[in-house]
Amino acid sequence: MKKSYRIKSKKRFSAFLVFVILLLATGTSFAVDTETAQGLSEAPYAEVLVEAGDTLWNLAKQYGPEQNDPRDVVDTICELNQITPEDLQAGQTILIPIS
Instruction: Check residue 11 and give its pLDDT.
Output: 92
pLDDT tens, residue by residue, 59-83: 999 988 888 899 999 999 999 999 9
pLDDT tens, residue by residue, 4-61: 878 888 999 999 999 999 999 888 777 665 555 555 556 689 999 999 999 999 999 9
The DSSP line for the chain is: -------S-HHHHHHHHHHHHHHHHHHHHHHSSHHHHHHHHSPPEEEEE--TT--HHHHHHHHS-TTS-HHHHHHHHHHHHT--GGG--TT-EEEEE--
- 86 and 76 Cβ atoms separated by less than 8 Å: no
For residues 86, 92, 93, 97, the Cα torsion angle rounded to the nearest 10 degrees is: 20
